Amino acid sequence: MGYDRVPTTFSPDGKLYQVDYALEAVKKGWITIGIKASDGIVLAVEKKRYTRLIDPAYTEKIFKIDDHIGAVFAGLSPDARFLIDQARVYGQIYKLVYDEPVDVETLTRYICDIMHDYTLHGGARPFGVSLMIGGVFRGQPKLYGTDPGGAYAGYFANAIGSGFSTVMDYLEKNYDEKASLDDAIILARNALAPVVEGGLASGNFEVAVVPVKTSLFEKLSQEKVMSYVEKAKG
Q: What are phi and psi of 143, to 5 degrees?
A: -135, 130
| β-bridge pairing 69-75 and 205-211 | unpaired
Q: What are phi and psi of 179, to 5 degrees?
A: -65, 150
Q: What is the pLDDT of residue 200?
A: 67
User: DSSP assignment, residue 57?
Assistant: G
Q: What is the pLDDT of residue 186?
A: 92
Q: What is the pLDDT of residue 17?
A: 78
C-alpha–C-alpha distance, residues 189 and 42, integer Å: 11
CB 220 within 8 A of CB 40: no
Q: What is the pLDDT of residue 150?
A: 95
Sorted by where each starts, the structural domains of the chain and their CATH numbers stand as: 17-233 (3.60.20.10)
188 sits in which H/E element: helix 181-192
Report pTM: 0.91
C-alpha–C-alpha distance, residues 89 and 157, integer Å: 27
- The SS3 assignment for 9 reads coil
Q: What is the pLDDT of residue 1?
A: 52
Per-residue pLDDT tens digits of the chain, which is 234 residues long: 555 666 667 777 777 778 888 999 999 999 999 999 999 999 999 877 667 777 777 778 899 999 999 999 999 999 999 999 999 999 999 999 999 999 999 999 999 999 999 988 877 889 999 999 999 999 999 999 999 999 999 999 999 999 999 999 999 999 999 999 999 999 999 999 888 776 666 567 899 999 999 999 999 988 888 787 676 555
C-alpha–C-alpha distance, residues 88 and 69, integer Å: 10
Q: Report helix angle 104-117 to 77-98, nearest 10.
A: 130
Contacts for 149 with CB less than 8 Å, ≥ 6 apart: 16, 19, 22, 115, 116, 119, 126
C-alpha–C-alpha distance, residues 210 and 103, integer Å: 14
Q: Which of 82, 80, 88, 104 is nearest to 30 (CA)?
A: 80
Q: What is the pLDDT of residue 121?
A: 81
C-alpha–C-alpha distance, residues 208 and 217, integer Å: 7
Q: What is the pLDDT of residue 38?
A: 95
CB 86 within 8 A of CB 129: no
User: DSSP assignment, residue 62?
Assistant: E
- The SS3 assignment for 12 reads coil
